[in-house]
Amino acid sequence: MSKAEQQPRKVYGMLAEYSNPAKLIRAAKLVNRAGYQKYDAYSPFPIHGMDEAMGLKESKLGYIVLFHAILGFLGALALQIWTSSIAYPINISGKPFMNIPAFIPVTFELTVLLSAFGAVFGMFFMNNMPRHNNPLFSSQRFEKVTDDGFFICIEASDDFFDEDKTKKLLEDAGAIHIEHIFTLEDR
């Protein structure tokens, strides 16, 4: 008897494939109305209207970016003001030590730079990226998700997850294929 047959493998979730964006949206709406929380709809590109279908709230990324922007702004000003008028003031062309008009370009650039870091790394953070060991990657079919495949995966850890009920819901929504996704250790 192989290890795989010794005990039932731990299920990570149920993956259903759909044929086009319209079907995926419909399915997502149904899954959302059914009360599931831990699920996601997968597609090769973002689908217009999916956020509402899944009942998602607005992304919080903006606050992260704003925080970084303020950090960049104040940091740039602090750097320039401190170096030019406190740490080592030098008479440059008779200009005032705290030459705010001259400080604007660097301030602007650092604000943008830090905001960009916030936007990018904040987004990675919020998306749990990098995560190379996602159980979804074990599925052969799931490889289509970056080509022309549309999927919904409902995680087993969701409160409402039930082998049969969940399967029926996904099938009724029009799934063309359903499979189990197993956790990493049991693959």
Partner 1 sequence: MESTRRFSESRNVESTGDSMNRLYVVESNYTVTGTMADHRLRIKSGEIALFGYALAARLAESVTGLSAFSGYSNKFSQHSWVAVLAEELLNNRGMSILTAGTDHATELHAVVAAINRALGNVNETVSLYDLPFTQPGDNREAFARMVREIGNGAYDTVVIIGTNPSYTAPADLGFDDAISQAAAVIHLSGYYDETSKNAGWHINRAHYLEQWGDGYSYTGVQSVIQPMIQPLFGGRSEIEFLATIIYGEDKTGHELVRETWSGAISGNFDRGWNKVLHDGLLENSGFEAVTPALNGNFDATTREAAGNASSGDGIELVFKTDPKLFDGRWANNPWLQELPDPVTKITWDNVALMSPATAERLGFRGSKFDSKEEPVARIEAGGSTFEIPVWILPGHADDSITVYQGYGRKSIGRVADGIGVNLYAFRTTANMLSISSVTVNNTGRLYTIAATQDHHSMEGRPLIREASLEEYRTNPNFADDMVKVPGIPEGEEHAINLFDGPQYPKYEPQWGMAIDLNTCTGCGVCTIACQAENNIPVVGKREVKRGREMHWIRIDRYFNGDTDNPQVVQQPVPCMHCEQAPCEQVCPVAATAHSDDGLNQMTYNRCIGTRYCANNCPYKVRRFNFFNYPKEFLTTGSDPEIIQMAMNPDVSIRFRGVMEKCTYCVQRISRAKIDTKRETGNSIKPADGSVKTACQQACPAGAITFGDLTDSNSIVSRTKRNNRNYMLLEELNVRPRTSYLAKLRNPNPKLV
Partner 2 sequence: MSKKYEYVPEQPLVQGNHTFSSITALIGDIVEKPTPMWWYIAFGVSNLLLAMLLGMIAYLVWEGTGIWGLNNPVGWGWAIINFVWWVGIGHAGTLISAILFLFRQGWRTAINRFAEAMTIFAVMCAGIFPAIHVGRIWVVYWMFPIPNQMQMWPNFNSPLLWDVFAVSTYFTVSLLFWYVGLVPDFATLRDRVKSKFGRFIYGFFALGWTGGNRQWQNYEKSYLILAGLATPLVLSVHTIVSFDFAVSIIPGWHTTIFPPYFVAGAIFSGFAMVMTLMIIARKIYGLEDIMTVNHIEKMNMIILVTGTMVGFAYVMEFFIAWYGGVEYEKFAFINRALGPYSWAYWMMFLCNVFSPQFFWSKKLRRSVTASFILSIVVNIGMWFERFVITVSSLAQDYLPGAWGYYSPTWVDVLTYVGTFGLFFTNFLLFLRFMPMVAIAEIKMVMPQADPHYYDENGDEPVTANEFAKKPDLNA
Backbone angle region of 75, left / alpha / beta, with phi > 0 → left and psi within -120 to 50 → alpha? alpha
171 binds partner 2 (CB under 8 A): no
CA nearest 145: which of 78, 53, 28, 46? 46
Q: Using the minimum distance from each CB to partner 2, give the nearer residue, 11 or 136.
A: 136
The entry of partner 2, partner 1, none near residue 94 (CB within 5 to 8 angstroms by kind) is partner 1
**Residue partners of 160: CB distance under 8 A and separation at least 6:** 34, 35, 36, 166
Maximum alpha-carbon separation in the chain: 87
Q: How many residues bind partner 1 (CB under 8 A)?
A: 8
- Report the Cα 114 to chain-centroid distance in Å: 20
55 binds partner 1 (CB under 8 A): no
Interface characters, 131-150, with partner 2 (x: CB under 8 A): xxxx-x------xxxxxx--
* 8 Å CB contact between 35 and 26: no
Cα Rg, the chain, nearest whole Å? 25
Q: Using the minimum distance from each CB to partner 1, give the nearer residue, 100 or 126.
A: 100
Q: Which stretch binds partner 2 (CB under 8 A): 6-14, 122-130, 161-169, 177-185?
A: 122-130
* Interacting positions 76-105 with partner 1 (CB under 8 A): 90-96, 99
Q: Using the minimum distance from each CB to partner 2, give the nearer residue, 4 or 184.
A: 184
Please work out, in degrees rounded to the nearest 5, the angle formed at the alpha carbon of residue 49 by the alpha carbons of 45 and 51. 85
Q: Using the minimum distance from each CB to partner 2, give the nearer residue, 19 or 167.
A: 19
Q: Which stretch binds partner 2 (CB under 8 A): 2-10, 49-57, 162-170, 176-184?
A: 49-57
